[in-house]
Amino acid sequence: MEISRKAPTAKGPAGTFTGDVWIDPITRGLPPSQLNVAAVHFSPGARTAWHSHDGGQTLYVTQGRGLVQARGQEIIQINPGDVIFAPDGEEHWHGATPDHFMTHLSITEGAPRWAEHVSDTEYHRGNT
């Protein structure tokens, strides 16, 4: 049995997030596994940039209200208990609604590929 102590909370970098985002690492797989699990906390209006993941990404919303969008699709509101899966290579973004915090678990099996930030215009299309 191995027990790991909680790693420090890290601020989400401005290069990949808009607004205040905080990340609590939970676990990483031992090589050759690329498993990465983290709790990600978004302040109201905060969001990721467009991105995709090798191997896909699963999100499990634990609290608050959020938004998620796959490139070319509609923006969808997400709530506690929702599970979202973005398959390998699918560009998407996710974050909090303008008036609520949102926390989700992020479970990935490969490296992210970051693209441009989600503009305010793109983000607010889901809040009209």
**17-28 residue pLDDT tens:** 999 999 999 998
In the chain, % of residues over pLDDT 90: 85
Fold of 10-127: Jelly Rolls (2.60.120)
pLDDT in tens, 70-83: 999 999 999 999 99
- The alpha-carbon radius of gyration of the chain (Å, integer) is 14
Helix/strand/coil percentages in the chain, nearest 5: 5, 45, 50
66-119 pLDDT, tens per residue? 999 999 999 999 999 999 999 999 999 999 999 999 999 999 999 999 999 999
Candidates 52, 83, 43; CA nearest to 70 is 52
Tell me the whole-structure pTM to 2 decimals.
0.93
Q: What residues contact residue 124 under an 8 Å CB cut-off, 6+ apart?
A: 98
